[in-house]
Amino acid sequence: MFNIETIRKDFSILSRKVHGKPLVYLDNGATSQTPIQVIDAIVDYYSNYNANIHRGVHTLSQEATDKYEEARHKIQAHFNAKHAHEIIMTSGTTESINLVAHGFASLLKKDDEIIVSALEHHSNIVPWQMLCEKTGAKLRVIPMNETGELVMEEFDKLVSNKTKLVFVNHISNALGTINPIEDIIEKAHQVNAAVLVDGAQACPHLKPDVQALDIDFYVASAHKMCGPTGVGMLYGKEEWLNKLPPYQGGGEMIAEVSFEKTTYANLPHKFEAGTPNICGGIAFGAAIDYLNAIGFDEISTYEHDLLDYATKKLLEIEGLKIYGTSKNKTSVISFNLDGIHPYDVGTILDKMGIAVRTGHHCAQPIMNFYKIPGTVRASFAFYNTKEEIDILVEGVKKAKMMLS
């Protein structure tokens, strides 16, 4: 049973005050809050079995190794990967994307084409531009329309035998649009192109099945899923991960080292050089347990209700425009007040204890499309309430009065 009062008790931060007002945390797209169950896992690690992993024969090292590998298995089960070694632990979405982009440098040649979407976060644009510079491959972009959706007819025209890779986010961080990844994957696979789906904004809201979707690479960050910062994952199909060279050299990623020749470890260690974020990985596993215990169907139903409520209430404010109006979206509302800079709105809301993100949201091409400097973005999680949305709406009205 989804019980909002019980859930909110897991997040002590939600009862703090900011500028003397109760915190209304609506910046979940940037990072989610951390429940006590995950904090306990972090405290337990440092209090009881802090040690390096895969290295020691001593008890602490073995306990830490077992817990870390258990977390990998939890992630595997959550995303329904075929093998645990298809889950690479990284520092987050950005590193996961860079790892794949680095690997493809040796697989691409001049005039190959890679396709990204107009709705991408900079993390899913810049590494591919760097890859194009290195290899001479060309970047093609699936355009977006006014409602913040991808123009799929244009994608159909872009895909060709030259296409080697397609990169698209599952859900846009700036607008909340859920992209038609099934269609994109099917069409990309018809020309044997690999598909990387950036799941940073999707994973807090839904549970992707990487086998059912036939995804080649899927990436996510723990900190948007009630886990800690500095840890995330890359799922890659075994055959693709085997084709890619290691990302970084160092300890743990080798089989044998000599000055004449080094051979690399098997998956997943080939991509995990150096001491990882051990505690973070274990806490990521705890966060996945936490979200699954609540249930993604329940989370999705509750958040959609919040989204509908907030959309209706905000649109009652004269001069307020919402960017990203797809019917297929998650609980993100990007908006502006006519003639008022989003930064000013965000600053006034903060004085009222309301945390929203303002600016271009690391998605400048989207802002350029709408010809705006940025938006105010309220992004809701399953621990937010309609009462908090009412406070946001009143806050926006006050901000409008003060700034008009």
The only residue of 28, 32, 34, 173 in contact with ligand C6P, by rule CB under 6 A: 173
Query: Per CB under 6 A, does 67 bind ligand C6P?
Result: no
User: What's the closest the beta carbon of residue 173 comes to ligand C6P, in angstroms?
Assistant: 3
Beta-bridge mates of residue 322: 335
Cα–Cα distance measured from residue 377 to residue 121, given in angstroms and rounded to the nearest whole number: 14
**Looking at beta carbons only, is 92 or 246 nearer to ligand C6P?**
92
Query: Per CB under 6 A, does 30 bind ligand C6P?
Result: yes
Cα–chain-centroid distance for residue 260? 41
Cα–Cα distance measured from residue 149 to residue 143, given in angstroms and rounded to the nearest whole number: 9
**Looking at beta carbons only, is 64 or 288 nearer to ligand C6P?**
288
Choices 44-52, 92-100, 241-249, 310-318; region in contact with ligand C6P by CB under 6 A: 92-100
**Looking at beta carbons only, is 76 or 177 nearer to ligand C6P?**
177
The only residue of 65, 93, 98, 331 in contact with ligand C6P, by rule CB under 6 A: 93
Choices 77-85, 210-218, 295-303, 356-364; region in contact with ligand C6P by CB under 6 A: 356-364
226 is catalytic: no
Q: Which residue is nearest to ligand C6P (CB)?
A: 173
The only residue of 33, 65, 117, 123 in contact with ligand C6P, by rule CB under 6 A: 123
Cα–chain-centroid distance for residue 262? 34
Query: Per CB under 6 A, does 358 bind ligand C6P?
Result: no
Query: Per CB under 6 A, does 357 bind ligand C6P?
Result: yes
**Looking at beta carbons only, is 121 or 329 nearer to ligand C6P?**
121
User: What's the closest the beta carbon of residue 323 comes to ligand C6P, in angstroms?
Assistant: 14
SS3 assignment for the chain: CCCHHHHHHCCHHHHCEECCEECEECECCCCCCCCHHHHHHHHHHHHHCCCCCCCCCCHHHHHHHHHHHHHHHHHHHHHCCCCHHHEEEECCHHHHHHHHHHHHCCCCCCCCEEEEECCCCHHHCHHHHHHHHHHCCEEEEECECCCCCECHHHHHHHCCCCEEEEEEECECCCCCEECCHHHHHHHHHHCCCEEEEECCCCCCCCCCCHHHHCCCEEEEEHHHCCCCCCCEEEEECHHHHHHCCCCCCCCCCEEEECCCCEEECCCCHHHCCCCCCHHHHHHHHHHHHHHHHHCHHHHHHHHHHHHHHHHHHHHCCCCEEEECCCCCECCEEEEEECCCCHHHHHHHHHHCCEECEEECCCCHHHHHHHCCCCEEEEECCCCCCHHHHHHHHHHHHHHHHHHC
The β-bridge relationship of strands 21-22 and 17-18 is antiparallel
By CB under 6 A, the count of residues binding ligand C6P is 17
Query: Per CB under 6 A, does 71 bind ligand C6P?
Result: no
Query: Per CB under 6 A, does 121 bind ligand C6P?
Result: yes
**Looking at beta carbons only, is 173 or 330 nearer to ligand C6P?**
173
Choices 121-129, 158-166, 290-298, 317-325; region in contact with ligand C6P by CB under 6 A: 121-129
Does the N-terminal peptide bond of residue 143 adopt cis geometry, omega within 30 degrees of 0? Answer: no
Query: Per CB under 6 A, does 29 bind ligand C6P?
Result: yes
**Looking at beta carbons only, is 92 or 268 nearer to ligand C6P?**
92
Please pick, among 203, 226, 279, 362, the residue that the annotation labels catalytic: 362
The only residue of 117, 163, 201, 358 in contact with ligand C6P, by rule CB under 6 A: 201
**Looking at beta carbons only, is 29 or 268 nearer to ligand C6P?**
29
Taking residues 295 to 334 in sequence order and writing x for each that binds ligand C6P by CB under 6 A, - otherwise, the string is: ----------------------------------------
> Catalytic positions, please?
362
Binding site for ligand C6P (CB under 6 A): 29-30, 92-94, 121, 123-124, 169, 173, 198, 200-201, 221, 357, 361-362
